[in-house]
Amino acid sequence: MVFEPLCYTFGGGTRLSVGAAQTAVTTPPKLTVLPPSGKELVKEHSVTLMCIANKGFPSDWTLNWKIDGRSRTQEASRGVLQHDGLYSWSSILTITQQEWERGVSVLCEATRRDQSAFTEFRREQCVE
């Protein structure tokens, strides 16, 4: 008798594997920080950046922000299961116009247990 492993995904990302050996494969997400829009830079008193985390596994990675090395608490979305079996997350950071003008270092970091991945973003990276 040959037993074929089955894998099903339910709802927002609960995965059930039947008959397959569970190997703990951890994949750090790829991180990208999206800069503020030009309109926001001209009209607003604050600046919004977004961190996109793609293709991570499993779903319990968390996103954190650091401004000039100091943690800044912001909410992040729950992991969204993609068709390839990996997860995506996002988080939005709002800083003051003064912080942006000063050219602070913005770090988006994904962490899971003793693992981490990060990307750094600075105002100088924007094409104005």
Task: Read off the pLDDT of residues 110-120 as tens digits, 9 standing for 90 and up.
Answer: 999 999 999 99
pLDDT at 45: 87
The pTM of the full predicted model, rounded to 2 decimals, is: 0.77
Chain centroid to CA 97: 23
Q: Is the sign of the CA dihedral 57, 68, 43, 124 positive or negative?
A: negative
Percent pLDDT > 70 in the chain is 80
Q: pLDDT-derived band of residue 124, with 50, 70 and 90 as boundaries?
A: confident
Measured CA to CA, the distance from residue 40 to residue 34 in angstroms comes to: 13
Backbone angles phi, psi at 123, to 5 degrees: -55, -35
User: 103 near 68, Cβ under 8 Å?
Assistant: no
Question: For the segment 19-66, what is each residue's pLDDT rounded down to a tens digit?
Answer: 444 445 899 999 999 999 888 878 878 999 999 999 999 999 999 999
Distance CA 80, CA 112 (A): 16
